[in-house]
C-alpha cells in the first residue's frame, strides 16, 4: 500500500499583481510570480524541511497550504481538503507556528491563552488534558503558566506557541522559523520536543528554517525553493552532492611541511603548522586519499569534515545562470 499523501501539491502557482511607480504620476501593473508551478507530496508522519533564500516563496506556499491565500493555479489538497474552500474545517487538522509572531494573547497568562485555544477549537476535555500535560512536561511549561505572555523570554514564548499549536492534536504542523533568535538550550529543547511529537503522535511536520542544524537534526527530506520553483527535493546527503559539495580531509602531520601534492582527486586548500586541509568531491571515498598520503607523509591523525550545507545551498541557488530549470532529486545524484 502506498503512503497516504497528506499534503498534495500539484502545479500550484501564486501570482501577485502589484502597482509600481513609473515616472512621477504613472503607475504600472506588474506581476510577481511568488510560487511558479510547484509539485510535491508529503506522506503522513514525515518531517520535511522547506528552505530557500529570502523571497523564494516559502511563506506564500505555507499561506496557500493553510488556506490564507488562494492559489492562482494548480491543485492543492491537505488531508483531502481544499484549503481555500474549507479553511475552518482544515484549521482543526493543522497547527501553525510563526517564529516571528505569537498567536498567544499578549496580556494574558499562558494558561488563559491555552483555555481560549481549547474553546476556540472546541477540544474535548480528555484530549485537552492529555495534550496539555504532555506539552507542559516536555516543554517545561509548568513555571510559566501563570506568567503573562508579554513577560516571557523569546525562548519561553516560542515553547508556549508550539504547545498552543498542538493542543487540538493537529495531524499537520507548519513551523516557520521555530528556533529563530533562540539560545542554544532553547533550540535543543524545541528540537527534542518536535522529535517526540513526531515519533509519539505521528504528526506530519513542514518546517521552514534558515537554521541548518534544525534540518540536520529533524528532517531526512529537504525541499529547496528558489524564485518560486522547487529546485531540489530529496535527502540531505543528496543535497550536498547536488550542490557539488566537497568534503574536507583534515590531516595532522608530524611536523610542518609544504602543502601536500600529488594526491589524485584532492587539492590542498589550507596549511596551518603541521595541520593541512584537502578538499575532495563529496561523493568520493576518503580511503584512497588517506592511503596515498600515509604512504608519503608522516601522518599522525586525520578527520573528514562534511561540506557546509549553507555553502552547498548557495551553490544550488546560483545554479546554471541563476537557477536550475528542473527539480533535482536525490536520485539524480551519485
Ligand X SMILES: Nc1ncnc2c1ncn2[C@@H]1O[C@H](COP(=O)(O)OP(=O)(O)OP(=O)(O)O)[C@@H](O)[C@H]1O
CA nearest neighbour of 210 among 9, 50, 15, 317: 50
54-62, 84-92, 147-155, 164-172 -> range binding ligand X (CB under 6 A): 54-62
Cβ 101 to ligand X, closest distance in Å? 12
Do 282 and 243 touch, CB atoms closer than 8 A? Answer: no
Q: Which set of grid coordinates corresponds to residue 191?
A: 528540537
**Does the protein bind ligand X through residue 58 (CB under 6 A)?**
yes
> Is 16 a residue that touches ligand X (CB under 6 A)?
yes
The CB-of-180 to ligand X minimum distance in angstroms stands at 11
Q: Which is nearer to ligand X, 18 or 130 (CB)?
A: 18
Strand, coil or helix: 316: helix
Our finding on whether 157 is near ligand X (CB under 6 A) is no
Instruction: Please identify, among the stretches 2-10, 50-58, 124-132, 138-146, the one whose residues bind ligand X according to the rule CB under 6 A.
Output: 50-58
DSSP-derived secondary structure for 196-228: HHHHHH--EEEEE-S-HHHHHHH-SEEEEEETT
- Sheet strands side by side (includes 267-272): 267-272, 275-281, 246-253, 299-305
Confirm or reject binding of residue 59 to ligand X (CB under 6 A).
Answer: yes
Which residue do the cell numbers 519561553 mark?
156
Asked if 9 is part of the footprint of ligand X (rule: CB under 6 A), the reply reads no
Helix axes 125-138, 184-201, angle to 10 degrees: 140
Considering only residues 202 to 261 of the shown chain, the ones binding ligand X according to CB under 6 A are none
Task: Note whether 11 binds ligand X by CB under 6 A.
Answer: no
Report CA-CA distances (Å) from 294 to 145, 218, 248, 284, 309. Answer: 60, 37, 16, 18, 29
Task: Determine if 57 is a binding residue for ligand X (CB under 6 A).
Answer: yes
> Near ligand X by CB under 6 A, which window of 57-65, 91-99, 107-115, 187-195?
57-65
Which residue in 7, 9, 34, 266 binds ligand X (CB under 6 A)? 34
Map the footprint of ligand X across residues 77-96, applying CB under 6 A. none
- For the chain, the residue count is 334
Instruction: Tell me if 32 contacts ligand X by CB under 6 A.
Output: yes
Site membership for ligand X, residue 18 (CB under 6 A):
yes
Residue 55 beta carbon to ligand X: minimum distance, rounded to whole angstroms: 4
Q: How far is the CB of 21 from ligand X (least distance, A)?
A: 15
Phi-psi region of 203 (alpha: psi -120 to 50; beta: other; left: phi over 0): beta
Question: By the criterion CB under 6 A, which residues form the site for ligand X?
Answer: 16, 18, 32, 34, 52, 54-60
Amino acid at each position: 500500500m502506498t503512503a497516504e499523501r497528506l499534503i498534495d501539491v500539484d502545479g500550484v502557482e501564486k501570482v501577485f499583481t502589484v502597482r509600481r511607480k513609473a515616472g512621477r504620476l504613472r503607475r504600472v501593473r506588474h506581476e510577481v510570480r511568488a510560487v511558479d508551478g510547484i509539485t510535491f507530496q508529503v506522506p503522513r508522519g514525515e518531517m520535511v524541511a522547506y528552505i530557500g533564500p529570502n523571497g523564494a516563496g516559502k511563506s506564500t506556499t505555507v499561506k496557500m497550504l493553510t488556506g490564507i491565500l488562494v492559489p492562482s493555479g494548480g491543485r492543492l489538497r491537505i488531508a483531502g481538503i481544499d484549503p481555500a474552500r474549507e479553511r475552518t474545517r482544515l484549521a482543526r487538522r493543522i497547527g501553525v507556528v510563526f517564529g516571528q509572531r505569537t498567536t498567544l494573547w499578549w496580556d494574558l497568562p499562558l494558561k488563559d491563552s491555552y483555555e481560549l485555544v481549547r474553546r476556540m477549537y472546541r477540544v474535548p476535555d480528555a484530549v485537552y488534558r492529555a495534550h496539555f500535560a504532555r506539552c507542559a512536561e516536555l516543554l517545561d511549561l509548568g513555571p510559566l503558566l501563570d506568567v503573562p505572555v508579554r513577560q516571557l523570554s523569546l525562548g519561553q514564548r516560542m515553547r508556549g506557541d508550539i504547545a498552543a499549536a498542538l493542543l487540538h492534536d493537529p495531524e499537520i504542523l507548519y513551523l516557520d522559523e521555530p528556533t529563530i533568535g533562540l539560545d542554544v538550550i532553547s533550540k535543543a529543547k524545541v528540537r527534542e520536543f518536535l522529535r517526540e511529537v513526531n515519533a509519539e503522535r505521528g504528526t506530519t511536520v513542514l518546517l521552514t528554517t534558515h537554521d541548518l542544524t534544525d534540518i540536520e537534526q529533524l528532517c531526512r527530506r529537504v525541499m529547496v525553493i528558489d524564485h518560486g520553483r522547487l529546485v531540489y527535493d530529496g535527502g540531505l546527503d543528496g543535497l550536498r552532492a547536488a550542490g557539488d559539495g566537497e568534503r574536507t580531509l583534515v590531516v595532522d602531520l608530524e611536523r610542518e611541511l609544504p602543502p601536500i601534492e600529488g594526491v589524485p582527486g584532492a587539492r590542498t586548500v589550507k596549511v596551518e603548522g603541521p595541520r593541512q586541509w584537502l578538499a575532495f568531491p563529496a561523493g568520493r571515498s576518503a580511503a584512497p586519499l588517506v592511503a596515498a598520503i600515509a604512504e608519503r607523509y608522516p601522518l599522525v591523525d586525520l578527520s573528514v569534515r562534511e561540506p557546509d550545507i549553507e555553502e552547498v545551498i548557495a551553490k544550488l541557488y546560483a545554479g546554471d545562470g541563476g537557477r536550475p530549470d528542473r527539480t533535482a532529486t536525490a536520485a539524480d545524484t551519485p
